[in-house]
Chains A and B, each alone.
Chain A
Amino acid sequence: MPDMKDSLRRTLWISRVTFLEAVRQRFFAFLLVLGAAMVLSSVSLRVFDFGHGELKFIADFGFGGMFFFGSVLAVVMTAQLFFSEIDNKTALTLLAKPLSRAEFLLGKFFGAWAVLGVFIVVLAGLQGIVLWAREQELIALAEQSGKIPATFSVVGLGQLVLMQWLRLGVVIAIVLAISALARTFLFAVVVGSLAVVAGQLQWIAQDAFLRPTDSPVYAAFLWVSTRLIPNLQQFNLADALVLGSSAVEDGALIAVGLSGLAYLVAYLTVGALIFRRREI
């Protein structure tokens, strides 16, 4: 047990320094400001709502920015945090200490995940304020016109934050596994980005897999793809959770959460196994 406690401590110290390093980077501040600007501008751009409800447009626009910039941050920042320490030999100094490579990788993961947590909480909080303020205006108008606007759920917003945080955790774990294998920063970023795009489109492979096919090779390819690549779309429940556009059963949320956790653990394990053999 003392070994386990020491191991957790070392992981925590690595993640603490990783977090500090990440939040002091201009890249983080830049994307946070960009995301916040997108959330705030959603109010003034609501005239282009394409016939959807106002709150839905504001939520789609703001959360869309959060999903996109969160993904960019998860891919680029994770690859950068991992590679910079190997490139500039800080990793040599740290790994020469009684610190296992798995602890180093986990420390990087938790540090990056904490940064993404801050990113999502700040933007979701801002989005929540924007939605709540507009909802109050719409309620006042509704009282005059008799129309009932969509309702904004704070609990749903909290659930969405957790889902998005988990989604970005899966992305970080994938990028760490790729980075453990990659020899250049560019490779890690490009392949990591492709993995995110594949994850967003994974449902297409799932659909195709469910359709009957005569080709066993094609069927095998789809079977492998649908299991190797997580379905990142399943975490995008903004409308349903925040505006209550459709009911989301607790069981479905738990299933999505468990699926996300399973992928997260699996990719971290793969990353740790690859990094263990890497010569630095």
Chain B
Amino acid sequence: MSSAISVRHLTKDFRIGMRGLKLRAVDDLSLEIPRGQVFGLLGPNGCGKSTTLKIVLGLVSATAGEISILGQPSATSAARRRTGFLPEAPYFHKFLTGRELVRYCAQLSGVASADLDAAVEDALGLAAMTEAASRPIGTYSKGMLQRIGFAQAVVHDPELVILDEPTAGVDPVGSAAIGRMIHAMRDKGKTIVLCSHLLGQVEQVCDRVAIMDRGKLVLEGAVDDVLARRDRHVMTIEAMTPASRAAAEAALEAHGAKVTSVTHPRRSLEDLFRELVTGSRDA
């Protein structure tokens, strides 16, 4: 089976200024994104990740290289029919209600008239936007905008969903909701490509990651593989006394191991926030 996205030797140069100076945004990038996984494309601002996604979607032309989506050349109508996209900081027509927007996007994505109502309600349900769907988009909070953007991206049941900074500007509760939506899509067998510089969130939701810097790919692999330090181990111990600690250290040293640090485990500030702030005020 072909990859969800296959990028081969992609290069993109922008011409800037009156003299047409060349700015290389993507430099000979090759990448295979497997199907059925959540793939994180990471990198600092201006590293070329958004440009790469735009080229994949046919919104920007490549200077060189080949791209295919789900085995078809990218930027074709057939490829787009199987792809959903949520741009960074999306903006939608404020006078439409959430339901009207999702319906409009479903129509543009080729959802058959007979399936339209069910598809719209399913997408709204997945994005937890059913209750607010009858309100004009102009009244939505940032988190709700992202969620309605997610709903329009998945309303035509695409095989590949591309999310550009889906949690930018969203509070941790909203972020967690988007994380759940991403997992729900993966559980349905979809491929999700997530472009972000929020590393904590990427670590939580992604199966694989690629890191770009200055237009080049600097690392790619499964999250567990790239993060794990195989020469170090962590043990979590309850009710440890000074005596038991000394005995454990002596036992480990007797077998050639060395304890380098003993600390209390910490939960993340995000976990603490989500624990204290239950539920979303968006709904």
Contacts and interface: CB of A to CB of B under 8 A. Distances in A.
B92 A92 contact: no
Interface string A85-98: 00011101111111
Interface stretch (B37-45, B81-89, B168-176): B81-89
Interface residues of A, number: 24
B95 interface: yes
A280 B85 CA distance: 15
Interface stretch (A17-25, A32-40, A256-264): A17-25
B118 interface: no
A17 B92 contact: no
Contact of B91 (A6, A20, A90, A99): A90
| Among A6, A93, A279: residue with most chain B CB under 10 A | A93
A9 interface: yes
A223 interface: no
B152 A93 contact: yes
A9 B85 contact: no
Interface string A1-24: 000001001100110010011001
A interface secondary structure, majority = helix
A159 interface: no
Interface in A84-132: 88-90, 92-100
B273 interface: no
Interface string A127-148: 0000000000000000000000
Interface in A248-277: 277
Contacts of A89: 87-91
A182 B8 CA distance: 32
B109 A97 contact: yes
Contacts of B80: 96-99
A94 B95 contact: no
B201 interface: no
Nearest to B103: A13
A277 B59 CA distance: 10
Nearest to B153: A93
Contacts of B105: 93-94, 97
A98 B92 contact: no
Nearest to B60: A279
B77 interface: yes
Nearest to A21: B93
A20 B104 CA distance: 13
A279 B59 contact: yes
Interface string B87-112: 11111110110000000110111100
B48 interface: no
B57 interface: yes
B83 A96 contact: yes
Given A10-B108, A100-B77, A93 B57 contact: no
A90 B60 contact: no
B143 interface: no
B166 interface: no
Contacts of A100: 77
25 contacts: A9-B107, A20-B96, A21-B93, A21-B95, A89-B87, A89-B88, A89-B89, A90-B90, A90-B92, A90-B93, A92-B59, A93-B105, A93-B149, A94-B105, A96-B80, A96-B85, A96-B162, A97-B85, A97-B105, A97-B109, A98-B80, A98-B110, A100-B77, A277-B61, A279-B59
Given A96-B162, A280-B60, 10 more contacts: A9-B107, A10-B107, A14-B108, A17-B96, A93-B149, A94-B105, A96-B80, A96-B87, A97-B80, A98-B108
Interface of A: 6, 9-10, 13-14, 17, 20-21, 24, 88-90, 92-100, 277, 279-280
